[in-house]
A and B are shown apart, each in its own frame.
Chain A
Amino acid sequence: MTVVAPLREGRLDEARAMLEEAGKDPAANALIPFAGVEGVHYARLFLVEPAIDLKGRPIPAQLVFMADFDAPAQPRLERLVARSAAGWTRLLACCEGFTSSGGTDAGACLAFVRRQAGGDAAYYVNTVGLGAAQAVAEARLRDAIEDRLDAQPDLLKASPAGVRDKIRDWIQSSDELSWAISPPAPPSLGWRLGELAHLVLVALGALVLLPLAIVLLPFWLLALRLHERSDPAPDVLPDPHHAATLAALEDHGPVNQFTAIGFLKPGPFRAFTARLILFLIAYGVRHVFNRANLAGVKTIHFARWTFIDGGRRVIFASNYDGSVESYMDDFIDKVGWGLNAVFSNGLGYPPTQWLLWGGAHHELAFKHYLRVHQVPTQVWYAAYPSLSALNIANNAAIRLGVSGSTEAGRWLQRL
């Protein structure tokens, strides 16, 4: 869910003040408290400063709302808006095109948010189908089992299978935990068929277009190399004040947010290539990298690429574990090729060769590029801020293993 709305002239400072105040306590602030809305994993509100595009045209300041909702998103959005309608009304009053009946107007807010909502070009979910409530409940299950093991030293004398049997019996008899005996409900048949249909139909479509693609490939490669040789790639250092603003928002817990925005390089070639690559990424993360592992990176909870300003700019936003330095190092060391394919269409990216090489491997220039394009995320909410992605995946495996077929010894090693 991504909502982008231009601000009215002269309302930027007011919106910024509101968001910065709310950002002090995203869960329970007076404007839009996120805590208690079911089915929200992460949410953020931030401002995009006014800019001048590459042709010299002004772009007004914009308000962006992004949320990682469990499906279906619409009823959750409705609830989120309805329960803090006054705050939404105040905030959206800063936006161009928002009209309320005067006073708090949940209906107008919802209608406006829906009107301004757009799709993401690509959206990565760490583990498809793992709900926010499930992540929280499975963390509680793991904590309870850990406490039980501490409290029952006699279990140390049992065999692994014996320990697991005892734990399982205990869970089964617990009113609060017995849900964990059965595995999470599988996705609906309809959803699975839909995914299968998408997998097959897109592949078939690609097959049909393959002859054309083979014919066009040499021309595309030629254009690519010509662009790569002439694209300017200045190594611009982040402004110290900007870097300090970003750093002040980071490392308050084990999970961090990242939001960056940048112009695409001018011309149709980069516009086409960016869309093609993001289409491939969207397909890849939907059908392949949907199980807690993005091509070797296991520390990203959610990530999205979204076109704004009629395709002139792209927002990249993610929730990840650890420091921004370790995040950028993961990018370089593990998925540099993939980032190059997307970001090299962005203005100012370090030079690439054949789309996949170079780029992020210019270590410091790449880190500077990300930091320069990063923007402060004024409000960032995390429903389970103390859980790393590895913790969530491990908790899910613990739950499955309570009554599952994992060998008991291996299951106990997860604890």
Chain B
Amino acid sequence: MAAAPVTLEATDIQGLLASGYGRLRAAVYLMYQVSDAAAARDWLGRTLAPALTNAAAPVTTVATNVAISASGLERLGVAAADLSTFPAEFIDGMASPHRSRMLGDVGASAPRHWRWGGSRQRVDLLLMLFALDAAGLDRHRKALTPASGAGLSQVVELGTFDLGDHEPFGFRDGISQPAVEGLRSTTKAALPRDLVQPGEFVLGYPNEYATLPPSPSVAGSPDFGRNGSYLVFRQLHQDVAGFWNFAAREAAAAGLASPEQLAARMVGRWPGGAPLVRSPEEDTPELATFNDFAYHHDDATGLRCPIGAHVRRANPRDSLDPRPGSQQAVALVRRHRILRRGREYGPALGDPTTGPRPPLTDDGQDRGLHFICLNANLVRQFEFVQGTWVASPKFAGLYDDADPLLGVHEPVGGTFTIPGTPFRHRLQGLPRFVTAVGGEYFFLPGIRGVKRLGELT
């Protein structure tokens, strides 16, 4: 979409929008309930707001960001009339029954089993702290953790584990990200296809429909939302042993020579990162971060990368109807992009040099992904990607193929189809590999917005 370049108020935008702080290898997510609104506001406005990392600041040794859920806004004293200016999906939260059906939070992933979020354990405020290393993070926590008199009580502490560029299943992650027009840290070396209008991620700027996303108002500040974003947090437990042992057990039935061959087809990239569309037979280190490919153009029938593969449905690139391969198809996908900012948790399973490979014995440790994404419209972006592309067994004309990694596979959706000649291989009865164990929607205010919350009376 051709639009005049916009300048973002980077100093008022929280830094997480500009960067995942990759060089800060240690991080912790702390969740709180507001126990004393006045004290919490005071802490927010006086202590935290000045310490927040903005999107213009260079990432040096530590970073600090904060996000607040709908219940948090309410408990901090945002009036009901103001709260109703936030989108309904944010107010409802992630765990409403309809949302659970759509997002695939059913069965073992149902919110009634969650450790936090939903109705299980209310979460009002999310504090995200980053540092160069564990020692730095300790110091950073001591400096910024709200004191006992700050009106906040901690309900969950979510640690992270630095697996380098890989996620717990052992695949390189975070290769393909949208670039936010006007935020230089995200647009460096970005492909034109990935350039997205800032209003898809930051309130107060034009979006892909060339309109301003609605901005919620708080206490006489009609533009409270400006420079803010909606933050999705999902704690996703990963059954790494289950995944690789399944790949080992089923590879032969899928006509494949090794567990890696099958696992890569389920993911759509090799563990090293090379996309199957470009490197269908083997992992190619030179293509580890290669991203300049399309699906319809390079592999319309899915003979290289199956239609149902995780990355092909999480970002279908040029492959959607009505005119696959066209600029129109690419533009449609631009309206459903999310900025991913999550981190892994739990120690690696298996040999750390090769990554996890079968046979594996589950060590009983909890591990997975703290999935975090940012977007301006939770329904059109995160929920659409998760519901219509990832969770739906009907994606792109499929019949019963939910996402092989993330999807719900019972009672329907447990098929994985691998196109081939003369005909496909079909795996059925996929087990569950990923289980949601917590989640909530948050608002990531602009820094002035955080101060305003602190000034509420």
Contact = CB atoms under 8 A, between A and B. Distances in A.
Contacts of B88: 237-238, 240, 243
Contacts of B91: 240
Contacts of B392: 254, 322
Contacts of B102: 251, 323
Interface in B384-399: 384, 387-388, 392-394, 397, 399
> What 4 pairs across the A-B complex have the smallest Cβ distances?
A296-B322, A247-B98, A390-B397, A412-B423
Contacts of B301: 413
A160 B421 contact: yes
A55 interface: no
A243 B99 CA distance: 12
A321 interface: yes
A24 interface: no
A388 B398 CA distance: 9
Contacts of A237: 88
Interface of A: 146, 149-150, 155-156, 158-160, 162-163, 237-238, 240, 243-244, 247-248, 250-252, 254, 293, 295-298, 321-323, 325-326, 329, 332-334, 361-364, 386, 388, 390-391, 394, 408-409, 412-413, 415
A359 to B, nearest CB: 12
A254 B393 contact: yes
27 contacts: A149-B424, A156-B423, A159-B422, A160-B423, A237-B88, A240-B88, A251-B101, A251-B102, A293-B322, A296-B321, A296-B323, A298-B321, A322-B394, A323-B102, A325-B384, A326-B384, A329-B380, A334-B322, A362-B211, A363-B380, A388-B394, A388-B397, A390-B394, A391-B394, A408-B422, A409-B422, A412-B422
B335 interface: yes
B109 to A, nearest CB: 15
Grouping DSSP codes into helix (H, G, I), strand (E, B) and loop, the B interface class, with mixed when no group exceeds half, is loop
Contacts of B321: 296, 298
Contacts of B423: 149, 155-156, 160, 163, 412-413, 415
B222 interface: no
A6 B127 CA distance: 57
Nearest to B97: A248
A155 B426 CA distance: 14
Contact of B422 (A146, A163, A322, A363): A163
Contacts of B380: 325, 329, 363
B294 to A, nearest CB: 19
A149 B426 contact: yes
B332 interface: yes
A325 B394 contact: no
Nearest to A253: B412
A382 to B, nearest CB: 14
A312 B399 CA distance: 42
